[in-house]
Amino acid sequence: MIFRKEYLLMMVGLLANSIGFAQSRMEKSFNEGWKFYKANNSTFFTDFENGQKYFENQGQWTKLEIWEDITLPHTYNKDDMQKDRNFFEGKAVYQKTFHPDEADKNRRTFLKFEGVGAVAQLFVNGNYIGEHKGGYSMFVFEISNSIEYGKDNSITVIADNKSRKDIIPINHFLFPVYGGIYRPVHLITTNKTNFVVTDQAAPGIFIRQKNVSSKSADIQVEAKLETKEKTIQEVELSLEIKDDQGKTVETQKYPVKISPQGVTYVNETIKMKSPHLWDGIRDPYLYSLTAKITANGKELDAVKQPLGIRHIEMIANKGVFLNGKKYPMYGVTRHQDREGFGSALSFEQHKEDMMLIKEMGATTIRLAHYQQSPQMYALADSIGFLTWAEIPFVNRVSYYENDNAKQQMVELVKQNFNHPSIYIWGVHNEVYSKTADEQVPVLSRELNDIAKTLDPDRYTVAVTGYNVIDRQENLSTDVQGINHYFGWYGGKIEDLGPWAQKVQKDFPEYKIILSEYGADGNIDIGKEEVEAPKDVISGKAFPENYQTETHIQQWAAIEKNPIILASYLWNSFEFAVPAWNRGGVNARNLKGLITFDRKRKKDSFYWYKANWNPEPMIYLANRRDSIRTHKNSKIQLFSNLSKVQLIVNGKEYQAKQGVNSKHWVVDNVELKQGENKIQAKGNSGNEVLTDEMTWTLQ
């Protein structure tokens, strides 16, 4: 598979560099030269409101002598939220001085924030500009009328990650909402006639696709235009499609009159012949679509967006079909935080996560439980992961979050509308009610309506933590997601298969996704016997081998049951949970297949790699369960080779297949006292693949 470098340069590189379209629109990094101050909350509120002790001139924090110089992205919780529940939760102040060019005085200036946890208030030269509620979506403020061009200006942002009943998620229980300006910020300047910038940080154009096949496709473009000139502007709107080599393949131009009042909407369709389809990981081919506004031969504004032409269909009890061909839905989930960094990650760190997921062989990804960095959706486009995007209406309800949930649903859809990798919008996760008339099902219907009204071409999904399809909170969306940890939060590992068979019998025409499954596993705890922990809530020892056994058996069951259209293991990476103390590591969810620092891969990672990634491989499992007390032991290995051998202390054993063709087992291997050298071997063409480990019999 080709990694689309050109597309990443277009979609991601601009986040760190100045990009201009013939001096029309300019987008510059606004991440350098910030100062930071984490406030004591009780003092902070009093002093800010009085405007006396620390703050002068209605928001000019010039008297403070305890500023810390920082570069964005930045979070003030990178350490404390990863230790225990005694973390800082509250306000912090960010301030920056910038000097806008005098030449931009007759242009428009905007600040675009990719993410601030969780409430942001913006001040320019001491003047209050506005507030954004929600720690995961982008937002834009125009500051044209509040800055002084050709002079130094003060930009101040107050960030607050204190949990609130009116902002989702309403608590820090399942995952931490890190505070701060933890994603990049951009300074955007445009001419007075431009594509709309302030439409919930949407790109200004929305691309829809109709009648898609390898023979033709209708590319529908809705553009939102506005002008701050005093008269109607007669302009030309051009739509240009280029292939992945930058060659123009389609161009159309339209005369447009832009009113100085309100927003001018333009809808046009480009008919493409013999399009090269975006086909997921099989062929993630990307065009680009550039919309331009010109007048009298001068370019006034331009917006460039990805264009992946594809058709996606989900058919109950059959599967997911991409461009008419069944698509393998090998799914993982991902939280965005990382040990020592919190959620303030670089593009290189986002890319590393996606490359690890690609190595595993995944074909689809659930970005849970909130809108993630725009870099992640750009990477998914380029790599070819079918992507599930969702809002953080998760875990608990307060009955005060309705407005914010609707706001975040609008933002999620509008901001990510043009990413071809996204196939489904998530409206909620594990929120419940006693009847179908209460807040959760009613709000879920409203959220679904928002998503389908804005984007009728994609699917919607809601998720329950019960293994029941038709609970009262369910079935408001196109697809039903089921989070269920068979053998962990109840029942036995092997219960998944019979459950799926019953669902197939009772709900054969329902679109069902197993949206979470798995078990915790501490990579530093080895154990000879596979035993379920007695207490998964307060237990202090979660040996890795039980997690391994869970994934071995449950993936084998998933691939045999077509009623499960897609499945998403929980989770690609360990992540912080400040309220937890489980499994031997404080403040950590240990269900990840890769450690929190991304440095070590658990056995389960290699299990999925053997099943999903066609690259030949062989791996000995239970290598960390190395202290043995039984002379006769079972050894298992993961391999996608047609035949494997096991050699123990020079003695050869023939492995047999276990739960499926990638699972190899040798029973009753005889160990000797002390160290035992174990080697697995198999042929891939002319190449011999091997793996080794050592067990010690005591």
Active site residue ranges: 430
Question: How far apart are the C-alpha atoms of 580 and 447, rounded to whole Å?
Answer: 30
Q: Which of 470, 612, 603 is nearest to 526 (CA)?
A: 603
Question: How far apart are the C-alpha atoms of 104 and 407, rounded to whole Å?
Answer: 32
Beta bridge partners of 236: 255, 294
Q: Please give the C-alpha separations between residue 495 and each of 378, 488, 558, in angstroms, as whole numbers.
A: 38, 11, 11
The residue with tokens 């009943």 is 165
Q: Which two tokens stand for residue 292?
A: 């331009």
Q: What are phi and psi of 439, to 5 degrees?
A: -60, -45
Exposure on the CB side of residue 501, measured as CA atoms within 13 A: 7
Helical axes 603-612 vs 544-558, angle rounded to 10°? 20
Q: Is 171 exposed, middle or buried (CB count within 10 Å of its CB: 0-12, 13-18, 19+)?
A: middle
- Dump the DSSP string for 193-220: EEE-S-STT--SEEEEEES-SSSEEEEE
Q: Which two tokens stand for residue 150?
A: 């050709």
The three-point CA angle 177-182-183 to 5° equals 125
Beta bridge partners of 289: 241, 305
Give the three-class secondary structure for 68. strand
Question: How far apart are the C-alpha atoms of 356 and 362, rounded to whole Å?
Answer: 9
Residue 593 CA, distance from chain mean position: 17
Q: Is the CB of residue 149 less than 8 Å from the CB of residue 98?
A: no
Q: Which region holds residue 225: left if phi is over 0, alpha if psi is between -120 and 50, else beta?
A: beta
Q: Which two tokens stand for residue 564?
A: 């499960």
- The residue type found at 293 is I
Q: Is the CB of residue 196 less than 8 Å from the CB of residue 298?
A: no
Q: Please give the C-alpha separations between residue 142 and each of 86, 87, 301, 395, in angstroms, as whole numbers.
A: 37, 34, 16, 35
The residue with tokens 């409101």 is 49
Q: Which two tokens stand for residue 433?
A: 């009610």
Exposure on the CB side of residue 309, measured as CA atoms within 13 A: 26
Q: Count of residues for the chain?
A: 698
Q: Is the CB of residue 694 less than 8 Å from the CB of residue 626?
A: yes
Question: How far apart are the C-alpha atoms of 198 and 209, rounded to whole Å?
Answer: 24
Q: Which two tokens stand for residue 277?
A: 């389809």
Question: How far apart are the C-alpha atoms of 372 and 411, rounded to whole Å?
Answer: 12
- The residue type found at 553 is Q
The residue with tokens 């009753």 is 668
Q: Is the CB of residue 303 less than 8 Å from the CB of residue 291?
A: yes
Burial 642-652 (b: 16+ CB within 10 A, else e): eebbbebeeee
Question: How far apart are the C-alpha atoms of 653 and 680, rounded to whole Å?
Answer: 10
